[in-house]
Chains A and B, each alone.
Chain A
């Protein structure tokens, strides 16, 4: 038996669980419709979750980029001051941050795809729910009990398959955002613990060293001009 047959069995098992609740066929229509609306809400929540996670990663990326710019500036200042050792430290840190940014880019790209997929799922389900609602009213109003039974079975199986599919899509999106959230929280922790040092806040060691150099040269030049004045 192939993967496709097996997959069909998996989905059908899920559908049967949804269809099994059928007792009074007409009630089933309303019950299924309620479930569809709930599922649609779930998809919307899923889209919002993915969007939030993506924004969070983008924020982290912006923060890292600020640090990278700052480190570039510091490296240049250090070279100007003839302190290659300091410049090297700054560039090493910059390199570390750049690889973090690269991995964030990949994660943002993945979330982007997930977001698009989920939005498409939402569109499809939304159209199907609306079409089911119309069908449901028609069946209730126009068909005899026997005909209605056939129509109901048809539309319930069709929509139940869609619901099983959407249910899985939401479940997978949730798993992905959970995973992303954990990684993003880990990155926050690293930033906080100083392992990836947040150079944007307060003075850091390179900054202090550079400030010392510029203070010394200011003092020297002021001293020179004082000497000149006094020497006159």
Chain B
């Protein structure tokens, strides 16, 4: 038996039967098959994992028991060690053999990286700008889907540990307006990208011939041959806004190279639409802060839009009704969408409509606003739609110059063109909307590019293909069969951080540097040139895209040199140092362009677009939805993102089909079952998630799951996370596919949902047909308490009723009859214990439910800042997720038109903390500044505190979640830990600390500066408001989270606590929380609301 055979034999019992790779037309996941036994362990064979082998696998006990309820066999097993996942027992016999076997295997793998010999010498003198133990911040940037994001990276002694938005950046922060801080939000994806830097699964060396180990020298040696045939070379790039890349591209095209660009989630329809409307591709940038009426047409402004973080900020400005902090009149958001999005959840009025009806709807709007013939579409006559449109048009007409309509990427170019015309009619350009020249207007659309390229490849016209990032084998339209076409290309080179599906199908794979390891430049959505500087030398070697192109040109220039050269060409050389420091080049944003409308004809409507809302099976529409976990699949190996629950579904570790509740009832589909979605002759099986408020007849397929070569977290050929929905995404139905058939397979499959399913199904309206078991008790209980937990009001009430307060005054204590009651030691309640008298700082937080869009940025920020472990799919099912800040989500209203209410919940830092009283060893105590502190090393883990916490914010380490990082091969992941925060061991309780490490650092810094005379004031004085930011606050794009000192009466938090919208959660428990919520203010159109309430006109 050879070494490898032996290893495989050892693993034989771990593999699911039939768990081999899918064939090209594989329509089923063998490992998801219901029939297969659950009891097998889950290791892929070692050979696949070399050179970073795995050892421990962690599973729940129930999984071991093989209980049907925990469908491990079907879901694929928990991800292996090395991911963000603790092992259960690293020293079991089997794991021991694994380790031994792995070491042996490693010895024989030629692909092993040999590190260069280097000498370590201690610093004789400390570098001037470095103090050991003190973090430093550098401006840098990253790119996602061809759009740059300005970042501020925190580095601790040479290793980056956190990413945030760059508050100095003009587009990211949007400047400072009264009542807001200088801050830039940072999306969950971008923040979590730092986890990839330290991912042990990253590719560490080039491979040749479809996965055989090779070296960078061998690759360099192969380059001259490639250079010789540049005329037959084609480059397929991810979308990129980089000026340097563009410069290199121009030069390469000059040498005969053909260039294509592909992104699976593309905003090209917008370009095409503006080309129709104005004769040239333009980029509309909405000025939401200036808009009174905002209409979205199948567009998620707050999560999916390339400018989501900025749009969230701008939108929130006028939503903030804070009395003294209030700014202007409140805007009104109308959302028309198929799938429920964060924007729909924030909307004042929402209309659920199939995506394909976007066109007739746009025509109808256009007709009513700018004259023209109304389309003949049945659904427009439906009372709900008719009423919605009537009031919307009325409002738009009344708000000319203060309104803006934005269409989403899924809508066809015609809709964008119509929307452009509507915006013209509304007088939006120049007021609430700017058009800027598309910086890369000439390139073909992504869909056309990939189609042409594949055709050329299939026809044998491509001699060599160089792919800069991307993963077209996985995410190109299924009908193109990119993998087969790639097989026909003699030389294919794939540059990527991971050895993914495309790398394995290419003749060469070259590791790409992480964006924190390389020089680069990007443009943010407004065009501002933003610089990316490396914070760390490449951990695993590799090249950046521009470096590879430079090699191809035979120059071999470093990234810095290349970027600087571009800089020089742009005439900016003088400011280089300052620009690198700031992270951007001021004044390089794209100027607003003057536009002249061009006449165009809206296309005729299809049968489906003329029909009503009701659809039968077989004519259903499928929309492809960006994943909140993996974007388009690229973040699949990111455990943080997989475990951050989707804002609306609250599901983790899976993608699924979103089916509207009534559609599901009609089709006999149910939650927690697998369904088959068939489009043409392609079909995919995946779990069903029924969600209220999704358009009738529209099925949302979430992209980005079912990867076969993502890594040990995101799935490999033996074990997958989620389901590959790209299998049914074709060029014809790329964004929206029609004529889909959905059938239930009847197979059970449990989604790892952090909130129970009952509220999805029965929390609304108590519809008897979807009641199950005893859940109506829960539905009633929920309906009763929700108005207590989440307070809401309308803008009108707030304006008209000056006495309105979110918090009812305590009846007893405010009753004049009880005024003389001297038993009352404190306002509003009693405590058995002596209440604390706070002398110094009184830290507190306020969370504005009006501006929280549910983007999850706070959750990921907290995870990164506080070293919060990931527990994995099964433990989420066991209700043991560890996030310190969670967003509770509830639906209210009817199933067809629900409203979403949500509430970010972290530790409330109660002054009368119930957790403190019950801890037998005093491990959780109160600080003099009002923080509820946790002494981890005193905690013995009775969990009584968690039982007694009314907010259920405490998180117990049920298992050793961090065991994995003690393993030598995963050591690199440990570099990401924030050294300021203890990594907790098993058996202790943890929870939000209000980022106590940041508070202490700010205090220490202030004291040191005061003592050294750098700063006026006394050591005991109050810190200036805003000097301390918690991680969640810093990441929040809308400033919904405000932290500060109540002792400072002028602080934002103190003023917000006094606001009439402010209320404490569960005041009857007399916990006196230091965190207060600000009631959500909705701003419905008064006439429309009245019409809806009256049930008639």
Same complex for A and B? Answer no
| B interface with A by C-beta (< 8 Å) | none
**A residues engaging B (CB < 8 A)?**
none
